[in-house]
Amino acid sequence: MNESGEKLQKVLAQAGFGSRRLMEEWIAAGRVSVNGEPATLGMRVVEGDLVKAERRTIRVGARDHAVRVLLYHKPEGEIVSRDDPEKRASVFDKLPKLRGQKWVAVGRLDFNTSGLLIFTTSGELANCLMHPRFEVEREYAVRVQGTMTETQMDQALRQGVELEDGPVKFEKLEDQGGEGFNHWYRVMLKEGRNRVVRRTFDALGLPVSRLMRVRFGIVNLPPRLKRGMCAELGEAEVAQILDWAGMVADPDELQQAPSAPDHADRVRTAKTGHRPASVARTAGSARRTGGKSKTGIKR
């Protein structure tokens, strides 16, 4: 067996096909070929090899399959899907075009929800960030019709609000004030169930009139990133996210950092000081245990 090159499942995952485990299942099921021959488990590929899976063909090469991460400020009125029977506007319509790779959305936002969306070309990274066992923090700004009572706030934070698919509790709930009938809150939770924020407030008798995601894990929505606009992270920022996710950052797999004026605004700590985050070597384990890394990145 050829011991040089990269494992086939790793190359496929980085190209956005899915997690390494899923790619192993595809290989075992005969859904992948290399240079026209059926792939086998444990196979390694080298630069120049032609890999075909699911009607897509990629040519192995570090520069063509670098791990890339994109931030997008989703406006209301766009769907997070490539296939929509109603032919509504899709977030994928506005993303940079790729050759040999595809953008994978890290989670979703509802049609009427705005805010931070993360895209990556690495299926493995996307799987790490979305898997429930990692409990990645999601923070939202929520405008509701009405005002929460102290009893409702206590229920949402400590007792839990019962939904049809199980109870939910917010990790953080802050009153942001408001005028008239509308009131703003800042909430944080560690799960991504479908419409969980809207359904929680609905269960409390407080319909949501506006919802925006402002943070996902260590990534904040950059204040200068306008609605409908996207910004690609640089090499150092991608390395930091890979490290936070518990993945080894291979220099050959990172995209050269683009120059942009809001470079320091994209990846920050979750603290109120909003200072730019440095690379946290222990961030992956900190996120899993709910503690802090040595650099102070809060999980």
Q: Which of 80, 46, 69 is nearest to 247 (CA)?
A: 69
Residue 223 included in any domain:
yes
d(CA 215, CA 140): 7
CATH number, residue 142: 3.30.2350.10
Query: Residue 44: beta bridge partners?
Result: 7
Residue 64 included in any domain:
no
Are 199 and 150 in a shared domain? Answer: yes
Query: Residue 210: beta bridge partners?
Result: 143
Known catalytic residue at 265: no
Residue 264 included in any domain:
yes
Residue 231 included in any domain:
yes
Using only C-alpha atoms, the chain has a radius of gyration, in whole angstroms, of: 21
Percent of the chain with pLDDT over 90: 47
Range of the structural domain that residue 239 is part of: 69-132+219-289
d(CA 114, CA 214): 9
Q: How many domains does the chain have?
A: 3
d(CA 232, CA 255): 10
Q: What is the pLDDT of residues 158-216, one digit of tens each?
A: 989 999 989 999 999 999 998 788 999 999 999 888 899 999 999 999 999 999 999 99
Spell out the alpha helix ranges (H) of 155-297: 196-203, 235-244, 263-266, 283-289
Are 188 and 224 in a shared domain? Answer: no
Domain boundary (192, 216, 240) is at 216
| pTM, 2 dp | 0.68
Q: What pLDDT is stored for residue 266 in this prediction?
A: 46
Instruction: Report the chain's mean pLDDT, rounded to a whole number.
Output: 80
**Active-site option among 64, 110, 202, 250:** 110
Residue 298 included in any domain:
no
